[in-house]
Chains A and B, each alone.
Chain A
Amino acid sequence: MNESAVFWSRMLTELTLSFHIIYATIGVGVPLMIMIAQWVGMKNNDEHYILLARRITRGFVITVAVGVVTGTAIGLQLSLLWPNFMRLAGQVIALPLFMETFAFFFEAIFLGIYLYTWDRFDNQTKHMLLLIPVAIGASMSAVFITVVNSFMNTPQGFELVNGELVNIQPLVAMFNPSMPTKVAHVLASAYMTSAFLLASIAAFRLLKGSNHIYYKKSLFLMMKLGLIFSIATAVIGDFSGKFLAEYQPEKLAAAEWHFETEEAASLILLGFMDQEENIKLAIRIPYALSILAHGNPMAEVIGLNEFPEDEIPPLYIHYLFNIMVFIGMFMTLVSILYVAGVWRGWQFIKKVWFRWLTVLGGPLSIIAIETGWWLAEVGRQPWILRGYMRTAQGATTSEHVDMMFILFCILYIVLGIGSIVVLSRMYRANPIEQEIQDRMAEVEGGVR
């Protein structure tokens, strides 16, 4: 085993995934938002929503491009950095990986068609229908990849006899215990993040002097969608807690800093841990952990002390867990206030400070996605395939991983800056006021 190769393989995988997940989340969630915007526009015969769909699409192509190339990178890095893992797991879980390429292929074809056929069909509905395969393809890609990840957490569908895999059942492997909650959580949080990102852009434009009704419509629509999906994400998150208690108790216990197995366990919120593992400045909510884990305030929750020292994940995942949960709650609150405020005519939602909170929501949601994935991945350590293969056993033995890490760092910096520059230039060159004017001129010209 090559210690440095293991370390750098982990670093490079974390780097690629952390970068890719931003674009992947947008890639999964935004097609649905485009579809809803276009549908609302057609139903209400409101040109603003149709323009919204059209403008989001233009930016979406840029993020898809980065998502595609970084997705290709992680797809290959699975074999390049974890050849031993892929050799073993590939025999059981190759099916969803394979299906993901089809889902993505399907999405790519229809996105190309959708993008290049605005106004080409006489019937607008026909054009909108092209988005259905795009949205389905995007979401199914996420489903299949998350299935692979869930298999790493709760592997099943095979038996290990004398180091040989026997009795392999690909479908049983796919429908493993952590699959339903994980897939649902990934999808809901992707929709939520996409909605809050788009809301954040609208709020930002409103703050920066534009007072156009287009942005108000966009903001309200995205906040409504964000609210729905943030509630969904929270509910599914609760199920995830119950799943973990049952199938991966060490992950839940580490995330909650729960050491002793006990009944009526209290939930530790926030806080810090010093060198001697003393917890300071934490808020303890009585019974809450038992409720989260089993839906029963008196239930017994297994603690970390039940597990061998070398099989428990790093304790810092507690911080990741807290950040994710707090951002989720914060965004639910902001969107409830906004949506209720519009209905009840509350004035404070139009104040500058509230607009800034909404702007903050975009980046915060991305941070929640990042911390959520770090929690999921670090929380599975020391395993790459829980109970069967340790991360260190799965890694490559190649000498040059550190060099590759540096190269990919540079690549992601270039892509990250490039995509932001191109996006901001694209929208600045063609502001909404200008585009609406052009559209009007076009329509009038047609009438004459």
Chain B
Amino acid sequence: MNLEVLGIIVLWIFLFGYVIVASIDFGAGFFNAYSLLTNKSHILSNIIQRYLSPVWEVTNVFLVFFFVGIVGFFPQTAFYYGTVLLVPVSIAIILLAVRGSYYAFESYGSRGHKGYAFAYGVSGLLIPSSLSVVLTISEGGFVDIIDDLPQLDFWALFTSPLTWSIVLLSIASVLYISAVFLTWYAWKAQDWEAHELMRKYALIWAGPLIFMAVAIIIQMQQHNPDRFRNMISIWPMFGISATLFLMTVWLIWKKRGLGLSVGLLILQFLFAFFAYGISHYPYLLYPHLTIYEGFTNQEMAISLVIAFIAGLCLLIPSLYLLFRLFLFNKEYVTGNQKDFHA
């Protein structure tokens, strides 16, 4: 394997990590807001607070890691994407900033403002929408190189059905991932009311998720036949993903093996995410930039890989400790423990 491919795999893994942990976070915020609207907030707020509080900062780091990493391994992306993404990414930053800081304000400062909870819930859907636009742009057809400078065609982007399909898929995924995870988490916390409610949401959002995923593949045929052929050529991976999806839904339907269902969910998205990534190879921005043209020099690549391995040696034990103390700690999850907050 060459360094280019190694670099993009590492980054893709981190982006995948972000997609999963951020989806849980974004979806939880949305369900929380929705339950306030329907006067069911007492059911969800505890469980959501307990999961989110110690880990929210960690979520953000996955994203930072991805974009710092991609500029490190592929400095040309700073030029291409940096130039065209000013507006959508700035909006995403502002939403992330409001969301992240107000989460801290609310949970560590003063509690219980309704308007805030709605803003928090809505931002959880707007952020994935604005970030998913980056994937749409990478599919090609929206960026022209004029006088050696990349230019984004906003009009084409906003009128393309593909853009909106990807936005809808990102929202459906966020809600589905979050609902499945919280179904399990509530079950583990022995909060049966919350468990039932989340199970219902998980089953509801399974439909739109698979519908949008199929719709996008069909649209690709029109939008970019070249990319469509690539996607079809690795159909077994998408097939595995679909099978895992059906198994997850079945488990949740039958209320069996909920821990397993979260595992299958993650695998489902892993397969779909990597199938998509592989079909995108070798392009970073179709058709202008490939991972080979955009790559940094050998010396930098090697030192980044070494730093990455050293970093992982530090992080994996730390993350294990974090999860052991909170996510997988029965006493903590069920809330039987005293409050040890500072």
Give the B-binding residues of A (Cβ under 8 A): 54, 57-58, 61-62, 64-66, 68-73, 75-84, 86-88, 90-92, 94-95, 97-102, 104-106, 108-120, 133, 165, 168-171, 396-398, 400-401, 403-404, 407-408, 411, 414-415, 418-419, 422-423, 425-426, 429
- Given A61-B108, A83-B79: A407 in contact with B100 (beta carbons within 8 A): no
Report the minimal beta-carbon distance from B321 to chain A, rounded to whole angstroms: 7
Q: Please tell me if the beta carbons of A168 and B72 are within 8 angstroms of each other in the complex.
A: no
A59 to B, closest residue via Cβ: B108
Give the A-binding residues of B (Cβ under 8 A): 53-55, 57-58, 60-61, 63-65, 67-69, 71-73, 75-87, 89-91, 93-94, 96-98, 100-105, 108-110, 149, 296-297, 299-300, 303-304, 307-308, 311, 314-315, 318-319, 321-322, 325-326, 337-338, 340-342
Q: Please tell me if the beta carbons of A165 and B102 are within 8 angstroms of each other in the complex.
A: no
Q: Is the interface of A mostly helix, strand, loop or mixed?
A: helix
B311 to A, closest residue via Cβ: A102
Q: Please tell me if the beta carbons of B81 and A62 are within 8 angstroms of each other in the complex.
A: no
Bound-state CA distance A116–B324 (Å) is 13
Residues of A within 8 A of B98 (CB): 411, 414-415
**Contact for A418 among B54, B64, B101, CB less than 8 A:** B101
- Given A84-B79, A86-B79, A414-B98: A98 in contact with B342 (beta carbons within 8 A): no
Bound-state CA distance A106–B319 (Å) is 9
Residues of A within 8 A of B76 (CB): 87
Q: Please tell me if the beta carbons of B303 and A76 are within 8 angstroms of each other in the complex.
A: no
Residue among B102, B299, B307 with the most chain A CB within 10 A? B299
Bound-state CA distance A118–B342 (Å) is 6
Residues of B within 8 A of A71 (CB): 64
Going nearest first, the 10 A-B pairs with the smallest beta carbon separation are A65-B104, A83-B82, A90-B75, A94-B72, A86-B78, A422-B109, A102-B311, A69-B97, A79-B82, A108-B57
A62-B109, A423-B109 given; 8 more Cβ-contact pairs under 8 Å: A75-B67, A86-B75, A98-B308, A102-B314, A110-B318, A113-B54, A118-B340, A426-B110
Residues of A within 8 A of B73 (CB): 94
Q: Please tell me if the beta carbons of B61 and A101 are within 8 angstroms of each other in the complex.
A: yes
**Contact for B325 among A58, A104, A113, A407, CB less than 8 A:** A113
Residues of A within 8 A of B105 (CB): 62, 65, 418-419, 422
Q: Please tell me if the beta carbons of B90 and A404 are within 8 angstroms of each other in the complex.
A: yes
Residues of A within 8 A of B342 (CB): 54, 57-58, 61, 114-116, 118
Residues of B within 8 A of A58 (CB): 108, 342
Q: Please tell me if the beta carbons of B108 and A62 are within 8 angstroms of each other in the complex.
A: yes
Bound-state CA distance A425–B112 (Å) is 14
Report the minimal beta-carbon distance from A400 to chain B, rounded to whole angstroms: 5
Report the minimal beta-carbon distance from B184 to chain A, rounded to whole angstroms: 21
Bound-state CA distance A352–B212 (Å) is 68
Bound-state CA distance A411–B341 (Å) is 29
Q: Please tell me if the beta carbons of B65 and A105 are within 8 angstroms of each other in the complex.
A: yes
Q: Please tell me if the beta carbons of A170 and B303 are within 8 angstroms of each other in the complex.
A: yes
Report the minimal beta-carbon distance from B36 to chain A, rounded to whole angstroms: 21
Q: Please tell me if the beta carbons of B315 and A398 are within 8 angstroms of each other in the complex.
A: no
Bound-state CA distance A419–B104 (Å) is 10
- Given A109-B58, A418-B102: A94 in contact with B297 (beta carbons within 8 A): no
10 A-B contact pairs sorted by A residue (CB < 8 Å): A72-B100, A75-B68, A97-B71, A101-B64, A104-B61, A105-B311, A112-B322, A115-B342, A398-B83, A422-B110
Residues of A within 8 A of B100 (CB): 65, 68-69, 72
Residues of A within 8 A of B58 (CB): 105, 108-109, 112
Q: Please tell me if the beta carbons of B78 and A79 are within 8 angstroms of each other in the complex.
A: yes
Residue among B57, B65, B315, B321 with the most chain A CB within 10 A? B57
- Given A65-B101, A106-B315, A414-B98: A397 in contact with B149 (beta carbons within 8 A): yes
Residues of B within 8 A of A169 (CB): 299
Bound-state CA distance A206–B86 (Å) is 48
Q: Please tell me if the beta carbons of A80 and B90 are within 8 angstroms of each other in the complex.
A: yes
Q: Please tell me if the beta carbons of A72 and B60 are within 8 angstroms of each other in the complex.
A: yes
B104 to A, closest residue via Cβ: A65
Bound-state CA distance A71–B100 (Å) is 12
Report the minimal beta-carbon distance from B148 to chain A, rounded to whole angstroms: 10
Report the minimal beta-carbon distance from B23 to chain A, rounded to whole angstroms: 18
- Given A58-B108, A75-B67: A415 in contact with B97 (beta carbons within 8 A): yes
Residues of B within 8 A of A422 (CB): 105, 108-110
Report the minimal beta-carbon distance from B265 to chain A, rounded to whole angstroms: 24
**Contact for B103 among A65, A414, A415, A419, CB less than 8 A:** A65
**Contact for B304 among A64, A94, A108, CB less than 8 A:** A94
Q: Please tell me if the beta carbons of A106 and B71 are within 8 angstroms of each other in the complex.
A: no
Residues of A within 8 A of B340 (CB): 116-120
Residue among A84, A94, A99, A400 with the most chain B CB within 10 A? A94
Bound-state CA distance A66–B103 (Å) is 10
Report the minimal beta-carbon distance from B272 to chain A, rounded to whole angstroms: 26
Q: Please tell me if the beta carbons of B61 and A94 are within 8 angstroms of each other in the complex.
A: no
Bound-state CA distance A105–B61 (Å) is 6
Bound-state CA distance A106–B315 (Å) is 6
